[in-house]
Amino acid sequence: MSPSTATATAAAHPATAATEPLLRISGLSVAYGRRPGRAAERVLDDVSLDARAGEILGVIGETGSGKTTLARAVVGLAPVVEGRITVDGEEVTGLRGRPLRELRRSGRIQYMFQDPLRSLDPDLTVGEIVGEPLTVGTGTERGERAGRVREALELVGLPAEFAERTPGRLSGGQRQRVSLARSVVTRPRLLLADEPVSALDASNRNHVLLLLDELRRSLGLAVVIISHDLSSLAGIADRIAVLYRGRLVEQGPAEDVLTSPLHPYTALLTASAPSVRREHRITPAQLRPRDPRPEWTLQPPADACVFAHRCPFAGEDCRQAPAAAAHGGPARTVACHRAADWRERLTADAL
């Protein structure tokens, strides 16, 4: 896409380019496998998040915490039981049938699946793979399509000749670029990238992250990067949201979350990622549950804090899950009864 096209794309959405978040998720709960007479287990519970145009939101959490489910809910692939999702001011919660197909065909939201090695069809050429979202429904003419494919390849730093190759003749990093080109060819407003670098070596990882950084700037995209690895979000994400067992335990500006985490789980993540800059040199050992730990945390009740069984600071009040509360302004929230004082306890323990 030429700079002028990018400007035109951003200018077409003045409301979101200003202050309104492009993606707004409010009180989102998702539960799989609802059966009559049985309450389904929530894999996401009351999650609220925003991402603005031109911003990178990093979503971090260990395996099974609900990161992929969050992205899938935005594109209508996960069963939302409560809450709302709006994209560019339009409600997309629980869309089905024709409205959902139309939204997908419009290409305004792109979901980049995990593991591009598997998601690229080995029999198609790169040109066909990248151009496919345009054939499926944006009404782009064949002649224009070739130009858009070239443009998308150029955007991700691949020469036009790559259009003739098949995925089998590409390196891992090149495949990930092809996935990215396919994701931006429709000129989306929102890009959800699920573990975009986890299959790559360190050098390709950096290239792809830099590319995402460039794309959000040049295209005015809101980008959500899902990762289980904090170090790949540090330095690129503007904001970071931390999920633990389907709950949003903390979110805020990346710098603040990384340098002075408010939730003990976030502190454990930062303490375990040596490359992430830390204000407080907390070690993972300082965040291990203490002995003896409160008996009830061995088998916490369903409505207890989700982190209680691993938290060294769990007390009686943690039998009730804390609500997410603003901290120093609406941009930062934390769901922890101990947010204000766990550090003091840590210091005392460390002495």
Contact residues for ligand ATP, defined by CB under 6 A: 32-33, 43, 61, 63-69, 228
Residue 79 CB, shortest distance to ligand ATP, in Å, is: 9
How far is the C-alpha of 155 from the C-alpha of 214, rounded, in Å?
Answer: 9
Q: In what order do the strands lie in the sheet with 56-60?
A: 109-112, 190-194, 222-227, 56-60, 239-244, 247-253, 333-334, 325-326
Residue 62 CB, shortest distance to ligand ATP, in Å, is: 7
Measured from the CB atom, is 176 or 186 closer to ligand ATP? 176
H-type helices in the chain, by residue range?
Answer: 3-11, 14-18, 67-74, 97-106, 116-119, 126-135, 142-155, 172-184, 202-219, 230-233, 254-259, 264-271, 342-350
- Of 41, 16, 19, 46, the C-alpha closest to 31 is 41
Residue 59 CB, shortest distance to ligand ATP, in Å, is: 9
Decide: 246 and 306 in contact? Cβ < 8 Å. yes
Measured from the CB atom, is 19 or 63 closer to ligand ATP? 63
Measured from the CB atom, is 67 or 216 closer to ligand ATP? 67
Residue 291 CB, shortest distance to ligand ATP, in Å, is: 29
Measured from the CB atom, is 58 or 66 closer to ligand ATP? 66
Residue 64 CB, shortest distance to ligand ATP, in Å, is: 4
Measured from the CB atom, is 115 or 154 closer to ligand ATP? 115
Residue 83 CB, shortest distance to ligand ATP, in Å, is: 15
Q: Could you please report the per-residue DSSP string of 76-107?
A: T-S-EEEEEEEETTEE-TT--HHHHHHHHHHT
Beta bridge partners, 91, equal 86
Beta bridge partners, 326, equal 333
Residue 196 CB, shortest distance to ligand ATP, in Å, is: 13
CA–chain centroid gap for 81, Å, is 20
Decide: 21 and 172 in contact? Cβ < 8 Å. no
Measured from the CB atom, is 61 or 264 closer to ligand ATP? 61
Measured from the CB atom, is 156 or 242 closer to ligand ATP? 242
The 3-class secondary structure across 121-132, one letter per residue, is CCCCCHHHHHHH
Measured from the CB atom, is 130 or 226 closer to ligand ATP? 226
How far is the C-alpha of 259 from the C-alpha of 295, rounded, in Å?
Answer: 32
Residue 195 CB, shortest distance to ligand ATP, in Å, is: 7
How far is the C-alpha of 22 from the C-alpha of 270, rounded, in Å?
Answer: 28
Reported as type and span, the H/E element at residue 27 is strand 23-31
Residue 32 CB, shortest distance to ligand ATP, in Å, is: 3
Measured from the CB atom, is 81 or 124 closer to ligand ATP? 81
Please report, as a single letter, which amino acid is at residue 305.
Answer: C
